[in-house]
Structure 1
Amino acid sequence: MHQSGPENANETPIVASRHGSGNETYASLVWRRFRRSTMGMIGLILVCMLLIMSVFADFFAPMDPKAANLPFAPPDLIAFEDPNGNFSLIPWVYPIGDTGEFDPVTYQPLTGAVKDDPTPTGFFVRGYEYQMLWFIPANIHFFGSTDGRPLHLLGTDRMGRDILSRGILGSRISLMIALAVVALTTTVGTLVGITSGYIGGRLDAWLQRFVEFVLAFPQLPLYLALTSLIPVTAPSNLFLSFVIFVMSVLGWAQLAREVRSKTLSLARIEYVRAAIAIGATDRRIILRHILPNVLSHIIVSVTLAIPTVVLLESFLGFLGFAVKPPLISWGLMLQDTGAFSVIGSYPWILAPVGFVLVTVFAFNALGDGLRDAIDPY
């Protein structure tokens, strides 16, 4: 007997000939539908660029993120003209400095581009040394100054460190935290949800009471309390591992509840009952019939959970409870924005917010596109 409706949309991970060729797989159908989503494709491209940037962060960083120069230096001006005023395909960088003039109203010194001694730039230039992929010595950078002078395209922070380079390096920690937390929460939430929904009975009742207990916690005070347990003198790797552990412990319950509800509906479908009737093991039923049909929901949940963790890490980092120096993350960089006077005088220190916004938009757009492509209903 063939059912219709939303439950029947995900009955099998393999095909549906009504969409085209009978040899077309479910994955190719999803990809074909996903390509029609403009926002989904933009999100996919941005996510790929973010992941590449985080893996090869040192290569894309034009400056040493730990090198100190002039504190709170404004962003340099990029111009496609040489010192003689002629057009140049290779951009020149003009530092922002005192022009020698004063504002007629406030009598404050005016700043502008200093064109007396511009900095030539180029691609694939030599700079500070680093370990590509953590074991290959290298000193080639994607973009930077060709004469070795400082280059601050987004300005510097209160310690005189380049904000752009620190933002690129910070993507490695922020995205690593997000991916690790989502991987753990997805694994635990999927196992608990499928086990609870498929086995049912008393086990289901006890597991759901525990899920409700976890969901009932006020998460923000608990985050602050748990992360405060690690002393400030603890190694950075230990503190980072504890932060990932705390976020994972408090983040799996919602997905477990969603997977359980889908498992309950799938367990009533005819082919699952037929598999039970012919003596199929629970392991085979879960792996061959139930898990493939909840996988689409899990994939979408993963893409939508990553920006949530990025925002949470940024917020906790701003409060000083996520990442400790010498590690770099977007949340840690936002600690310099804690005073309104600093933001008013040096607005460029808000640049890490741009990294967070682009990441959240990219993963949300990718998740929306996947949701529409995977579930046509």
Structure 2
Amino acid sequence: MASVTSTPAAPGAAPRGRSFWTSPALRKLRRNPLALSGLFIILLFGLMALFAPLIARPTGNCLRDLGMESQNQIFQPQFALRAMFMAPDECYKMERVSFAQEPAPASTVKDTFAPFGTVNGYNIFYGLVWGTRTALKMSFIIVGITLALGILIGAISGFYGGWVDNLIQRFIDVIYALPPLVLTVTILTILRAKNPGGDPTGPIIFAMCITGWAGYAKVIRGDILKTRQLEYVDAARALGARDLRMILRHVVPNSLTTVFTLAVLALATVPLSVAALSFLGLGFESGYSEWGQLIDFARAWLKPDYWYVLAFPAIFIVLFSLAFNLFGDGLRDALDPKTR
């Protein structure tokens, strides 16, 4: 019977997972307290979004759509899992405690858990907790789509050059000539006019993606113009590699450092843009759990007696933006070989 011998690992060779954790970039990131603080806050927001049904328990139509009879049933596994991963649309509607327009502090709210008080009758705490889901969902979807479009178009522009590059860059110049918010509002207004009263999620994503991909395309094009001149790209071309293979295997993967860092930083700005659209009346419907809605409600009650109406939504928005900015700055420094 033939014996099976194992080939010993090469001395000094580290497992791939270990080499990643001990890489210079990650070591520098771990030594950056501001970046770690940002990452910690991001994780807290992620946990809040995941466990939103347990933190701000469903009420009203959300209970009905989940098949529940009381709020305490949310702690049962079958209801908790459905609420966390397949929450009905009604769960994103803010809990309405009353129909009073005047804000009410937490001490005057009875028979419901509203530690931040109410505004326009809506529970501010419920809107902020479930609004975290809306902020993360919109941020990652919009940034993911714009990043993919920017990398694709920028890679084609930078790799082929010539008239292709000139055509794409002139189109990007046209987009840059228009203020992003004005262009987004114009596109969103046209889309909403064709479907008044419909779900604004799709139109908001489409409008912001149309105005957001150009920045990534510009950056990735500049990096690819440098990368395509390197020796290993010439070697791949000499060996007969096709253009698509060179772009996907050699050029783009080695040109993503800058654009990836910009994408992390952009995650902080999406909730601000969505909040601005809600403030202008082009965002989600009234009562939807979205931070911009609460800022819009607070506009009529900017008085010292009602400080909580604006303070708590502002704290959430500032912390969300600050967290991604801190982590993005740390990631940029860690991935920059000049700073190692």
Q: What TM bracket, shorter-length normalisation?
A: 0.7 to 0.9
Question: Partners in 1 of 2:118 and 2:204 — Cα distance?
Answer: 28
2:271 corresponds to: 310
Contact 1:236-1:325 within 8 A present in 2 as well: no
Larger radius of gyration: 1
Among residues 34, 40, 61, which one is paired with 1:39 in the alignment?
Answer: 34
**CA 1:316 to 1:189, structure 2 compared with 1: closer, same or farther past 3 Å?**
same
Deviation at 1:43, TM superposition (A): 1.1
2:103 corresponds to: none
Contact 1:296-1:374 within 8 A present in 2 as well: yes
Contact 1:196-1:260 within 8 A present in 2 as well: yes
Scaled by the length of structure 1, the TM-score of the pair is 0.70
1:133 corresponds to: 84
1:345 corresponds to: 305
Question: Partners in 2 of 1:173 and 1:198 — Cα distance?
Answer: 37
**CA 1:167 to 1:220, structure 2 compared with 1: closer, same or farther past 3 Å?**
same
Among residues 92, 112, 118, which one is paired with 1:150 in the alignment?
Answer: 112
**CA 1:302 to 1:62, structure 2 compared with 1: closer, same or farther past 3 Å?**
same
Deviation at 1:205, TM superposition (A): 0.6
Question: Partners in 2 of 1:273 and 1:150 — Cα distance?
Answer: 68
AA matched with 1:25? S
AA matched with 1:133? M
Q: Answer 1 or 2: which has greater helix percent.
A: 2
Question: Partners in 1 of 2:115 and 2:61 — Cα distance?
Answer: 16
1:322 corresponds to: 283
**CA 1:136 to 1:320, structure 2 compared with 1: closer, same or farther past 3 Å?**
closer
2:47 corresponds to: 52
**CA 1:328 to 1:231, structure 2 compared with 1: closer, same or farther past 3 Å?**
farther
2:19 corresponds to: 25
5+ long unaligned stretches in structure 1: 1-20, 68-124, 138-147
Contact 2:116-2:308 within 8 A present in 1 as well: yes
Superposed CA RMSD in Å reads 2.7
**CA 1:236 to 1:164, structure 2 compared with 1: closer, same or farther past 3 Å?**
farther
Question: Partners in 2 of 1:232 and 1:328 — Cα distance?
Answer: 24
Question: Partners in 2 of 1:373 and 1:236 — Cα distance?
Answer: 44
- Deviations along 1:35-85, one digit per CA (max 9) or x if unpaired, are 111111111111122122223222221574999xxxxxxxxxxxxxxxxxx
Paired residues in the alignment total 288
2:96 corresponds to: none
1:294 corresponds to: 255
Does 1 or 2 have the higher relative contact order (CA < 8 Å, sep 6+)?
Answer: 2
Contact 2:183-2:211 within 8 A present in 1 as well: no
**CA 1:162 to 1:64, structure 2 compared with 1: closer, same or farther past 3 Å?**
farther
Question: Partners in 2 of 1:65 and 1:201 — Cα distance?
Answer: 60
**CA 1:204 to 1:346, structure 2 compared with 1: closer, same or farther past 3 Å?**
same
5+ long unaligned stretches in structure 2: 1-11, 63-70, 89-109
Scaled by the length of structure 2, the TM-score of the pair is 0.77
Deviation at 1:286, TM superposition (A): 1.3
Deviation at 1:261, TM superposition (A): 0.3
**CA 1:203 to 1:245, structure 2 compared with 1: closer, same or farther past 3 Å?**
same
- Deviations along 1:124-169, one digit per CA (max 9) or x if unpaired, are x9377874234489xxxxxxxxxx932321111122x221111011
Alignment pair present for 1:203 and 2:164: yes
Q: Percent identity among equivalent residues? A: 30
**CA 1:66 to 1:370, structure 2 compared with 1: closer, same or farther past 3 Å?**
farther
